[in-house]
Structure 1
Amino acid sequence: MYESYYGFTERPFQLSPDPRFFFASKHHQRALSYLQYGLDQKEGFIVITGPIGTGKTTIARNLMSNLPEANIVAAQLVTTKLNPEELLELVIAEFRIDYQGNSKAEMLKAIEQFLVALHEQGKRALLLVDEAQNLPSETVEELRMLSNFQLDNQPLIQSFLLGQEELKGIIQAPNMEQFRQRIIASAHLRPLTVEEVENYIKHRLQLAGCDKEELFSEQTYALIHEKTQGVPRKINIFADRILLFGFLEELPSIDIDAINAVAEEMGAELTGSLSLEQSEAAPQTSKEQLIVNSSENVENIKDVLREIEDILETSIKQKVKMARYVDKLLKQKNRQLAEASVATNIDETKPD
């Protein structure tokens, strides 16, 4: 929507991970280097952890897009709470292994035959497990058992695990000692610094075709860092919304006032919150249940209704702005069509 207004060839802050937009902060470059090191070693586990939205999946996509296809066959799993048998079924499905059995032993046999066939072709398998914090410890242990498939003293499959910070607790459990001994490197992603936020935004703007030197004023980057805590996913959400706001308000560049206005809007909405913490109220006991005829609770209800009214009012204002924009586009299109029609009629009336 705002792309043509600001001269972009595409949206610079899309939410879906795109390896083309990979930004190598110090921590992200280290994590990617560890993954590459693991590939070179051809054995062991690499574990990458980090908070929600710090770019683990983007790193995975970046690695997958640059794999040497000649000798590595890769599969990426995005896990839920799989038991060991379900994990094996997913491995079979992602590697497209021909399997007709109905038992765990037969699944393991089919996987082994597939891996041996790859080895005979001079290839090996790489399993990249995203959202690995969802796996129970016994399923992580199943991954270790898969790494026992070897031929000519070479592992036939290698696994990389990427997950949120809870993955650390799973791996550090007392019963996971054997798995820990197979980890050859691990890295933890952290949010971006103020300087990295500035470089991140400029990097994405440049890749999206932005030819304006100072679309965001220098003072805005520290404020964006403050509002997003330096988390890349939140930066993407916030910056995308800022550009939409700038377009609707017809701003030639983004300043502090625009940042604050968007932050206030997003804070009042039901979605798009910039808050990193989502607190959950503890369940009420029977003595804490809402008493409808209490004057204090009536006032609380009124406050809630006022907040809902403010949210709806903000939403309506946004829709009005959007309607005005669509109306402007339609008028512009009609004007272009009329001019084109006049030009055509003039050409037709010219003598040959």
Structure 2
Amino acid sequence: MYDEHYGLTGRPFQLTPDPKFWFDTATHKKAMAYLGYGLSQGEGFIVITGEPGAGKTTLVGHVMSTIDPERLNVIRIVTTQIEADDLLRIVAQGLGAEAQGLNKAQLLGAIERGLHAVARTGRRTLLIIDEAQSLPPSSVEELRMLSNFQAGGHSLLQIFLLGQPEFRELLHGTDRLEQLRQRVIATHHLDPMEPHEVEAYIAHRLSVVGWQGRPDFTDDALEALYHGSGGLPRRLNQIASRLLLFGAIEQIETFTGEDVAVVLEDMAAESKPAASADHAASYRPVRRGEDATIAPQPADGALAERMDAQEARIASLESRLEEQDKALRRVLTLLVDWVEGDRSRPDIASVRDVAAA
């Protein structure tokens, strides 16, 4: 819908990774440099981590588009809690071996034969594992064992691991993986893009689909896009896509921070009651016609009133408890005096008056 309205030849902010939209942010340039170095070594492990939406899968797509199939045989796995035996079966199948019904020793033999067969064609095998944080430690250890296969002093298998930050914790959190850590030859963590990179990122993706400057974006719109996305490419794509749809409906030619704020408000409302209102609390959306300044705002008024009422009720309960505690102490004092005195019956009326107080 919006692509036709703005004269675009496609959707510039689709969530499905597409190598043609690859954009070199500073952190992605570093990642590619580390990858290039690692691949040139032809051995060991390359580790890339990043928050969800930081562009890890897009990075893999870009790498795949630059790999020469005449030099590298690529096996790619997206993990979902794959146990060690299943991991071996997938690798064996990726090498063209029949893995059904084989025990572990037979699987390892089939994998080694497959790696040698690939090497005889003049290629190396690259194993890419996405979402590596889902791998159990036993499967990660099995990968280390696979990296031992060699021929003529050269490694037959190189392994590229991508994962969320918790994969670093898995990798460095146990002595069991010390030998694997020693074989990591390149590692990089993908950071969010910088504020000044947002404009170039938006312009690049739009240009790929024939953008001629329509729609346009004001500086405060770009600032709002950065704050709303936190600099994460996937989140930025989500917001920008919704923004263009909003613009097509409202016939907007130049987006402002106010327009971005309206879209963020709508997206936050759709996600309720999830507590993803972190942005809403510190970055209050505004409607057209209101002050479009994007600045930290206090919490919602109704919520503040409910919190005040709750605090008042708690204070009242604490006061009553304190009064009851004082009354109980006076009753206990009368009883102690009676026990330690002549044990004559205490004045029940006095006790009742104290308790009632």
TM superposition score normalised by structure 2: 0.75
8 Å CA contact 1:48, 1:163 repeated in 2: yes
Residue ranges of structure 2 left out of the alignment (5+ in a row)? 280-305, 311-357
What residue is the counterpart of 1:177 in the other structure? 178
What residue is the counterpart of 2:21 in the other structure? 21
Q: In the superposition, relative to structure 1, how do residues 8 and 214 fare at CA in structure 2: closer, same or farther (>3 Å)?
A: closer
SS at match of 1:162: strand
Note the 1:1-352 alignment, pairs <5 A. 1-99=1-99, 101-172=101-172, 173-212=174-213, 215-270=216-271, 275=276
8 Å CA contact 2:95, 2:111 repeated in 1: no
Q: What does the per-residue CA deviation read over 1:238-288, in whole Å, with 9 as the maximum and x for residues that have no partner?
A: 00000000001111221222111111111111389894879xxxxxxxxxx
* Amino acid aligned to 2:183: R
Deviation at 1:140, TM superposition (A): 0.6
Q: What does the per-residue CA deviation read over 1:158-196, in whole Å, with 9 as the maximum and x for residues that have no partner?
A: 100000000001110222110000000100011111111
* Amino acid aligned to 1:104: K
Q: CA RMSD in A?
A: 2.2
SS at match of 2:186: strand
Q: In the superposition, relative to structure 1, how do residues 186 and 274 fare at CA in structure 2: closer, same or farther (>3 Å)?
A: farther
Distance of 2:166 and 2:153 partners within structure 1 = 33
Q: In the superposition, relative to structure 1, how do residues 136 and 277 fare at CA in structure 2: closer, same or farther (>3 Å)?
A: farther
Distance of 1:162 and 1:28 partners within structure 2 = 13
Distance of 1:239 and 1:137 partners within structure 2 = 39
Q: In the superposition, relative to structure 1, how do residues 277 and 56 fare at CA in structure 2: closer, same or farther (>3 Å)?
A: farther
* Amino acid aligned to 2:212: D
8 Å CA contact 1:127, 1:158 repeated in 2: yes
Q: In the superposition, relative to structure 1, how do residues 19 and 219 fare at CA in structure 2: closer, same or farther (>3 Å)?
A: same
Query: Percent identical across equivalent pairs?
Result: 43
8 Å CA contact 1:237, 1:272 repeated in 2: no
Distance of 1:193 and 1:270 partners within structure 2 = 26
Q: In the superposition, relative to structure 1, how do residues 274 and 124 fare at CA in structure 2: closer, same or farther (>3 Å)?
A: farther
Residue ranges of structure 1 left out of the alignment (5+ in a row)? 279-295, 301-352
Q: In the superposition, relative to structure 1, how do residues 64 and 21 fare at CA in structure 2: closer, same or farther (>3 Å)?
A: same
Q: What does the per-residue CA deviation read over 1:190-229, in whole Å, with 9 as the maximum and x for residues that have no partner?
A: 1111111121111111112111166222221111111111
8 Å CA contact 2:268, 2:277 repeated in 1: no
Distance of 2:193 and 2:99 partners within structure 1 = 45
SS at match of 1:194: coil
Which deviates more, 96-105 or 162-171? 96-105
* Amino acid aligned to 2:92: I
What residue is the counterpart of 2:334 in the other structure? none
* Amino acid aligned to 1:154: H
SS at match of 1:264: helix
Distance of 2:208 and 2:272 partners within structure 1 = 28
Distance of 2:7 and 2:124 partners within structure 1 = 44
Distance of 2:277 and 2:101 partners within structure 1 = 46
8 Å CA contact 1:266, 1:272 repeated in 2: no
Deviation at 1:9, TM superposition (A): 0.7
Distance of 2:273 and 2:74 partners within structure 1 = 35
TM superposition score normalised by structure 1: 0.76
Q: How many residues get paired? A: 281
SS at match of 2:254: coil
What residue is the counterpart of 1:317 in the other structure? none
* Amino acid aligned to 1:146: L
SS at match of 2:188: strand
Larger Rg: 2
Deviation at 1:95, TM superposition (A): 3.6
Distance of 2:223 and 2:217 partners within structure 1 = 11
